[in-house]
Chain A
């Protein structure tokens, strides 16, 4: 104890590190397996580790930030809507919905059954329910007044398109013909919702604008 105390007093007078390095068998030094590796070797081995870990962390953070930035650029409200950006899908939904509207809103006294049948092929959900309610009156009218209706889409545009659903704005012309009278034309604007099921588009909702 006395000897150690004496050494400490001496070393405080000189440089501390110097005395430690000069005296490898000092009892004050840690007496482990690592005792033979001096403090200079400790630091020279630690620094590359710290630098390596820091650069790895920096790379990781940079990667995440770039990815997040990229997502922000790509996944906006505009890009999630594929109307026109996917021309094939846009043309397909416009074509199928236009064709379907023409079929379900066209009938003649002789062929109400055909119209009814085609409605089941192209309508679904709410649109089919609404149509069924409406068609009871239509059938009667067509028979009583010898009424023929021909509908044709003038212009249709897609307001929103995703993989499973679409919203369209449709301008429809409807020509009414009663026997013995001049035909009259009505202009309609419809908002149409459609769903893609089993490779085909079904109209699920029709709202008159």
Chain B
């Protein structure tokens, strides 16, 4: 019986150790998952990337317009914006349609690079800077290519991030 007792004990000890280790692994895995699932900086990083993607697309849309498809283009402008900026676009739409149809220009834009410079994910506000290449083709002459640097303000809406302000980064007078 004594011999049986000594052969059983190490087995029992090993079994208990394994169970404790397994419980430890489960606890550690659970903790790690919990921390990851409640990691604010991971969520913030995702919001930043979402805002940048939406911002770049919106800035590109706002620099793209084909006189043969003005209504479609301006719909995309309105779809990319919110607040004051959208209101201005809606109010000036008719005049703008006439202007583009008489100028017969086609503008297309490519985003070269973009970055989020500010992000307040609680307030739903972000600032982006976008380097852009815009090609404008008029009925006569060669297409004009120019690099453009734009600053935009984004606001989160129920339909995603939209531009609430957009303008060229000012040249000169950079004191402010």
Residues of chain A at the chain B interface (Cβ within 8 Å): 33, 49, 52-53, 55-60, 62-67, 69-71, 73-74, 76-79, 81-86, 152, 154-159, 168-169, 171, 173, 175, 185, 187, 189, 191, 209
Contact = CB atoms under 8 A, between A and B. Distances in A.
B138 interface: no
B49 to A, nearest CB: 5
Interface residues of B, number: 46
B129 interface: yes
B97 interface: no
Given A158-B115, A169-B131, A187 B169 contact: yes
Interface in B130-155: 131, 147, 149, 151
Nearest to B119: A84
A159 B113 contact: yes
A169 B113 contact: yes
Nearest 6 pairs between A and B by C-beta? Answer: A157-B115, A63-B25, A66-B29, A63-B29, A70-B36, A70-B33
Contacts of A67: 28-29, 32-33
Contacts of B44: 84-85
A198 B41 CA distance: 27
Interface of B: 4, 15, 18-19, 21-30, 32-37, 39, 41-42, 44-46, 48-49, 112-117, 119, 128-129, 131, 147, 149, 151, 169-172, 174
Contacts of A83: 48, 115-116
Given A171-B129, A185-B172, A63 B22 contact: yes
Contact of A169 (B26, B42, B115, B171): B115
A209 B131 contact: yes
Contacts of A155: 117, 129, 151, 169
A159 to B, nearest CB: 5
A62 B113 CA distance: 43
Contacts of A59: 19, 22-23, 25-26
13 contacts: A56-B18, A56-B19, A58-B22, A62-B26, A66-B26, A66-B33, A78-B46, A78-B48, A79-B39, A85-B41, A155-B169, A185-B172, A189-B147
Nearest to A66: B29
Contacts of A159: 113-115
Contacts of B46: 76, 78-79
Contacts of A56: 15, 18-19, 21-22
Given A70-B37, A71-B36, A85-B48, A64 B117 contact: no
B33 A57 contact: no
A187 B149 contact: yes
Contacts of A158: 115
A168 B129 CA distance: 11
Residue from A33, A55, A171 having most chain B Cβ neighbours under 10 A? A171
Given A154-B170, A189-B112, A191-B113, A74 B29 contact: no
Contacts of B147: 189, 209
A33 to B, nearest CB: 8
A84 B36 contact: no
Nearest to B37: A73
A84 B131 CA distance: 19
A65 B29 contact: yes
B42 A62 contact: no
A84 B48 contact: yes
Contacts of B114: 157, 159, 169
Contacts of B149: 154, 171, 187, 189
A26 B171 CA distance: 105
